[in-house]
Amino acid sequence: MFITFALITLLGALGMLLQKNVVVAGLCMVATFFGVAGLFVLLANPVAAALQIIVYSGAIMVLVLFVIMMLNSHQEEEAVASRPVQRWLSLALLAALVFGAVKLVLSSGGLKALAERGAAMPQAMTLQKAGTALFADHLLGFEVAGLLLLAAMIGAVALTKRNL
Amino acid sequence: MSGMDAILHGGLQGYLVVALLLFALGLATVLLRRTLLLQFMGVELMLNAANVALLAFARFRGGDAQATVFYLFIIAVAACEAAIGLALVIGLFRHRDTTDSDRAASLKQ
């Protein structure tokens, strides 16, 4: 199961990177979000999986697709300059970063010990536990997040409206 | 579980490798694509990769509820970022008639 959802996630992301059409790239990204939601279910966290599908696959992707349709720019524009050196250099640095990081993860003894200890305690996250932690320990953070969303909403209206 | 086995059967290392590769693909999208909308989607992928790593660690530390709370905060920030980022793309398209980041390199009107 894990490998299926991991493949859905990574192939969706790869499709997004390689796709010429912006709308199709957006739909590849929806596949990625569903794959990540599947991974959250496997991590015994259905709360996060539901939030992932509602917020990312629902709200954010609808917003992105709406903007793509509104701007009517489905294809990538012609490049001003091809910049081959920068592109290959960034790819090489990225490959080195990924190679090093994966090697580090696989060779780390601490992670291995944590994985072995953690596999023995499969505790599913429930909405009750998450809600208790949110409203008992992080009430201020919750209020600040609400204020941030309000500020973002006003900011988005101010940025897009022609004459206020 | 060791090495390859952990990756194939969903050990902690497997989730971390998936998160790393997802982050790398998001970063590659930001670096290699020129359309601002695609770059924005790449940023969202990188945020998602961080979420996968966070919740994987939470699961292997015994289902910590704090991680889910922080995941909630992260997606709240991601939603704000989506609203503001897309508003900026629309604003740029109005002024310059382009969504290409190379064509928006100048600060002059």
Same domain, A68 and A133: no
Same domain, A1 and A68: yes
Domain holding A160, by residue range, is 126-164
Query: Based on the structure, what is the number of domains in chain A?
Result: 2
The answer for residues whose C-beta is within 8 angstroms of residue B49's C-beta and 6 or more apart is B19, B20, B22, B23, B26
The answer for residues whose C-beta is within 8 angstroms of residue B101's C-beta and 6 or more apart is B34, B35, B36, B39
Q: Is residue A160 part of a domain?
A: yes
For residue B61, give how far its alpha carbon lies from the nearest alpha carbon of chain A (Å). Answer: 6
Q: Is residue A44 part of a domain?
A: yes
Hey, are the CB atoms on B37 and A71 less than 8 Å from each other? yes
- Which percentage of chain A shows pLDDT scores above 90? 39
Owner of token pair 């961080």? B50
> Is the ipTM of this structure higher than 0.95?
no
Hey, are the CB atoms on A106 and B56 less than 8 Å from each other? no
Q: Is residue A114 part of a domain?
A: no
| Nearest chain B residue (CA) to A42 | B10
Return the pLDDT at B8.
67
The DSSP bridge partners found for residue B35 are B100
Same domain, A69 and A5: yes
Give the model's confidence band at B1: pLDDT under 50 very low, under 70 low, under 90 confident, else very high: very low
Give contacts of B88 with chain A, Cβ < 8 Å.
159
Interface A-B: count of C-beta contacts within 8 A: 249
Residue A7's CATH number? 1.20.120.1200
Q: Does B75 touch chain A (CB under 8 A)?
A: yes
Q: What's the pLDDT tens digit per position in A3-55?
A: 899 999 999 999 999 988 888 998 999 999 999 999 999 888 889 999 999 99
Ordered structural domains, chain B, with CATH: 3-102 (1.10.287.3510)
Q: Is residue A64 part of a domain?
A: yes
